[in-house]
Amino acid sequence: MKFIKLAVLFLLLFLAGFVAGYRVSESNAQKRIAVMAPGALRTHLESLQKNVESTLMLNSEQRQSFQSILNESLEKMGILRTRTKEEGLSILREIDTEMDKILTSDQSQKYHVIRQTLYLSGNS
């Protein structure tokens, strides 16, 4: 019985560490993207668009909403040169929030994997 409790404790610690590490790496990657040059940011969002559209099989309404979200975000990022890094992160979070509203649960999970992959690989 003591062994089982110890094993469960180690498993819970491992899972907590995994989740914390994932969140930290995602946060660091978002910070890196938030300070990109406008051209690099546009390239990143275009890469995101290609990956999302090919992987998630968006319907026409979702595709139009997604394009609108990206266009609005690009306009905001164009103004970003004079703003702080925190505002850039806020805009990136807005993209994620708006995307979660238009995607199904399964699509949303895949979307966040795509975002995480792009953040960590440095593909902009």
- Cα distance between residue 52 and residue 43, in whole Å: 14
pLDDT for the residue 93: 87
Q: Is the per-residue pLDDT at 26 higher than 60?
A: yes
Q: How many CB atoms lie within 10 A of CB 33?
A: 22
pTM value? 0.46
Domain range list for the chain:
2-121
Considering 1-10, 31-40, 103-112, the range whose residues carry the highest mean pLDDT is 103-112
| Predicted confidence band of residue 27 (pLDDT cuts 50, 70, 90) | low
* Sign of the alpha-carbon torsion through 41, 106, 110, 25: positive
| Predicted confidence band of residue 91 (pLDDT cuts 50, 70, 90) | confident
